[in-house]
Chain A
Amino acid sequence: MNELIPAFDWHQVMVAPWTEDLELFGWIGLMGLLVTASCGLVGNYLILRRMALMGDAVSHSVLPGLVIAFLWSGSRGTWPMFAGALVAGVTTTLLIDAIHRRTRVKQDAAIGIAFSTLFAIGMLLTSIYSQQVDLDAECVLYGEIAFVPLEPMVTLGGVEIGPVSLVRMAGVLLVVGLLIIAFYKELLVASFDDGLARAMGINPAWVHHGLMAILSIVVVSAFEAVGAILVIAMLILPGATASLITRRLSHMHAIVLVHALLSAWLGVSLEVWLDCSIGAAMVVGGAAVFAVVWAVIAWLNHLHTSQRPPSPTSTNDL
């Protein structure tokens, strides 16, 4: 057991990553923050629209899209990757619809069948073309966030900005943020009140498809960093934490950003201490934050109900 869990050294774990080793862990922490923040912002809408498991499905099924895009273009460029992810995301939604609309198989089973099939095809292609595709089972599961500092730097006008995937992730976060600001009202109305959205001339189907497209893009850029399954955690954990605390969508967005910061910070520390996969450590950090919030909220509720009897007119407005 002593081999497994090394001694906890305060300076080594909590201070050094942000001082002496900033060159290394700064990029990793920043990448974790960007990934969790963009996933969390999109994830908020998934949770509100009860589509959390579509996030699960899409995060598995972008894998074949990614592999085929690699094989097709022969490179690991950004645009083929996004195109592959979009195609895969659309295919997933179409497959799920084809199964549960046209047969008596229910939606939950349809989701399970569609994403596992696509993921299996992706895994098989990965093993078969392991020479050509720069992507292996390890990457699919653990992600490559640890290699972010080793990537070539993007330079703009002679100034180094940052590693390639980090710059891409920052671009994705920027686009997601701008889209949310631009279409805030449309997203809000379409997520809560289908009828009102129609009356206001918003087509809920377009909102749905737009959200799925953004989800595919976010998932595929996060995929490389943290792997297929941990993406689900980054989609759901921040939004779930936020929805425990508040009911206002704008506040939820703010809490998601704080949660992203905390999980990136805790994740790096946990990784330095235990020497495990960074992506998984960030998710465990985020889950710890969720657990603390859950406990505090439960305790506050307990205090609240024990101090005064529950009023029969207490409203549940959501």
Chain B
Amino acid sequence: MNPGGAILGSLGRRRLVWALGLAICFAPTIQAASVQDIANTDWGEQLVRFFSFRDASLRYALVGSVLLGLSCGLLGSFIVVRRMALVGDALSHAVLPGVALGFLWNMSKDPWAIFVGAVVAGLAGTAMVSALTRTTRLKEDTALGLVLATFFAVGICLVTMIQRLPTGNKSGLDKFLFGQAAALGGDDVSLMAIVTLVAVTLVGLFYKELLATSFDPGFARSSGIPAEWVHHGLMLMLAASTVIALQAVGVVLVSAMLITPAATAYLLTDRMHRMLLLASGCGVLAGVTGAFFSFVGRGLPTGPLMVIGASTVFTCAYFMGPRHGVIARWWRHRQSAARTERENTLKALYHIWENGGFRDVGTTLADLAERRKETIDEALGRSRMLAGHGFATVDSNVVYFTPEGRQRAAEIVRNHRLWELYLTNSANIAPDHVHDDAERIEHVLGETVVRELERRLNYATVDPHGKSIPGPRDIHRDAAVRGGDGGVRNPEETS
């Protein structure tokens, strides 16, 4: 791009790209990598320079990227929860002809003219999408793609025509395509501040309406909220915040600044107001990182850097989100699978105990293995797992319930049989079709649901297959009630 500084810059740039590559692959280690790089070069100095507000143009770039991250994150949250993410994409491409027409207004990069032109073009684009889906057989995705590309093509035609003009050559319109935060001026930043302020105010004022129309359109209609107007207002604000982000991020990638920070926040929280705060935070973080690396990398386009910053944050949330992250989900899944496995073993032990008339002193591993159709080794492993959780004790090759284990086993069998009876009685399902469903639900029925089921089934004691349902007395009894020792054995006695 700049042949003069290229040779000097290429070393630093190559290091930068490796750092960014690492950031994508190993998001957690990025911290260490970038600290290392700053220590090796004079990046530390540049970091100070970037954040010290010394140069006017850097100051504009910093403030501008904060503002755009804020407004894009805020409004992007609504399009993500409304499942309109790609409407944002179409909107952001559709503004290009408006930018060119705004420039043609008086052949200068007047921020206000460009702003008005672009917002109008963006709204025309969304209006055309809804016109297409309403009047033709085309589906929404086709209409979005069609409008996006057509408007963009018209914009490219206009931009290339302007660049052919003697005055248009140095118009800086190409900065709108991939973004250059360093090209922001005072006028641009004050426009961004106004739009962000209006966006924050409007979201604050109409928070309730936006929330209702996003999550429960039926409720919103019945409480008299004009959903159409909320939608149009949101589109207008979306177009405005897209347009102010154009100079810094560029037409091609501005949709990512709407979608990615909001999706990151969506992974981190379940409350809308927290999502708005988090999305704005992620947007600001991505914006500032992008602007900084673009400044350090001398002439690297800002847009791609901001998007890579946002995607890095998203990658972190994707893997390490506390509730919805992939690792947390995997861990929860593993935990519940292990618990189900334990409970199935307990149930098998209970069945063997029941078939022996509740008299046997313990269960041999051979019986357990036969019941579960496993090898003796597997049965031993499962019994040891139970022992590890205090549900059983294993002595040579006999398994004994502990009181807790017997209680839990009786609960699981009760849940299973209650559910079978409920499905047969209340849902009219044939008795031989209820087992598989009960097999799944027995692990998740809570106490209150069990009480409710018992009440509805009149405290029945026999399930559809003629087996007795363990009642509270069976579950919480002490060893003597049914005679024998109930299979429970005092650990001290074994020695």
Tell whether, in the assembled complex, residue B253 and residue A318 are in contact, meaning their CB atoms are under 8 Å apart.
no
Q: Which residues of A contact B142 (CB under 8 A)?
A: 47, 50, 52, 236, 239-240, 243
Residues of B within 8 A of A233 (CB): 146, 149-150, 152-153
- Per-residue CB contact flags for chain B residues 147-174 toward chain A (1 = under 8 Å, else 0) read 0111011101110111011000000001
With A121-B24, A280-B157 known as contacts, the answer to whether A229 contacts B152 (CB < 8 A) is yes
**Quick one: given A4-B165, A142-B160, A276-B157, are A298 and B149 in contact (CB under 8 Å)?**
no
The reply to whether the CB of B400 lies closer than 8 angstroms to some CB of chain A is no
In B324-341, the 8 Å CB interface with A consists of: 324-326, 329
Contact A124 B156 (CB under 8 A): no
A276 & B85 in contact (Cβ 8 Å cutoff): no
Nearest residue, chain B, Cβ from A270: B157
Q: Are B17 and A137 neighbours in the complex by a CB distance under 8 Å? A: no
Which B residue's beta carbon lies closest to that of A226? B153
When distances are taken between beta carbons in the complex, the residues of chain A under 8 Å from B262 are 109
One of B48-56, B114-122, B303-311, B444-452 at the interface: B303-311
* Cβ A287 vs Cβ B153 within 8 A: yes
Smallest CB gap from B142: residue in A: A52
Distance from B494 Cβ to chain A, minimum over Cβ atoms (Å): 47
In the bound complex, do residue B256 and residue A113 qualify as a contact, i.e. CB atoms below 8 Å apart?
yes
- Indicate if B238 sits at the interface (CB-CB under 8 A): no
> Count of A residues near B, CB < 8 Å?
66
Minimum distance in angstroms from A123 CB to a CB of chain B = 4
Q: Are A56 and B148 in contact (CB under 8 A)?
A: yes
B132 / chain A contacts, CB cutoff of 8 Å? 294
B156, B162, B304: the one contacting A141 at CB < 8 Å is B156
Of the candidate stretches B86-94, B182-190, B353-361, B468-476, the one touching chain A is B86-94
A200 within 8 A of B: no
Pick from B133-141, B362-370, B371-379, B407-415 the stretch touching chain A.
B133-141
Chain B residues within an 8 Å CB radius of A96: none
Say yes or no for A281: interface residue by CB 8 A criterion: yes
User: How many B residues have CB within 8 A of the partner chain?
Assistant: 72
What is the 8 Å Cβ interface bit string for chain A, positions 269-298, against chain B (1 contact, 0 not)? 010001111011101100100100010011
Judge whether B256 and A298 touch: CB under 8 Å.
no
A125 to B325, CA, bound (A): 29
Residues of B close to A232: CB separation below 8 A = 145, 148-149
In the complex with contacts A120-B256, A244-B136, A318-B137, A53-B311 CB distance below 8 A: no
Report the minimum CB–CB distance from B107 to chain A (whole Å): 10
A residues within 8 A CB of B303? 120, 123
Q: Looking at the complex, which one of B6, B17, B137, B156 makes contact with A243 (CB distance below 8 Å)?
A: B137
B252 touches A229 (CB 8 A): yes
The verdict on A69 contacting chain B, using a C-beta distance below 8 Å, is: no
Among A10-18, A99-107, A165-173, A217-225, the stretch that binds chain B is A99-107
Asked if B178 contacts A276 (CB within 8 A), the reply is no
Instruction: Return chain B residues, CB-CB under 8 Å to A243.
Output: 137-138, 142
Q: Which residues of B contact A105 (CB under 8 A)?
A: 80, 263, 266-267
- Find chain B residues with CB under 8 A from A290 CB: 146, 150
Across-interface contacts of B267 in A (CB, < 8 A):
103-105
The interface bits of chain A over 120-145 (1 if a CB of B lies within 8 angstroms of the residue's CB, else 0) are 11011101101100000100011000
- Leading 8 A-B pairs by shortest Cβ distance: A233-B149, A116-B256, A283-B153, A120-B304, A280-B156, A120-B307, A112-B259, A117-B311
User: Can you list 25 residue pairs at the A/B interface with Cβ under 8 Å?
Assistant: A3-B165, A52-B139, A52-B145, A103-B324, A105-B263, A106-B83, A109-B262, A111-B85, A112-B88, A112-B255, A113-B260, A113-B314, A116-B307, A119-B252, A120-B307, A123-B252, A124-B20, A228-B252, A229-B252, A230-B153, A240-B142, A243-B142, A281-B157, A284-B150, A284-B154
Write the residues of chain A forming the contact surface with B, with a CB cutoff of 8 angstroms: 1, 3-5, 47, 50-53, 55-56, 99, 102-106, 108-113, 116-117, 119-121, 123-125, 127-128, 130-131, 137, 141-142, 228-230, 232-233, 235-237, 239-240, 243-244, 270, 274-277, 279-281, 283-284, 287, 290, 294, 297-298, 318
Residues of B within 8 A of A (CB): 1, 6, 10, 13-14, 16-17, 20, 24, 80, 83-86, 88-89, 93, 104, 132, 135-139, 141-142, 144-146, 148-150, 152-154, 156-158, 160-162, 164-165, 174, 177-178, 252-253, 255-256, 259-260, 262-263, 266-267, 299-301, 303-305, 307-308, 311, 314, 318, 321, 324-326, 329
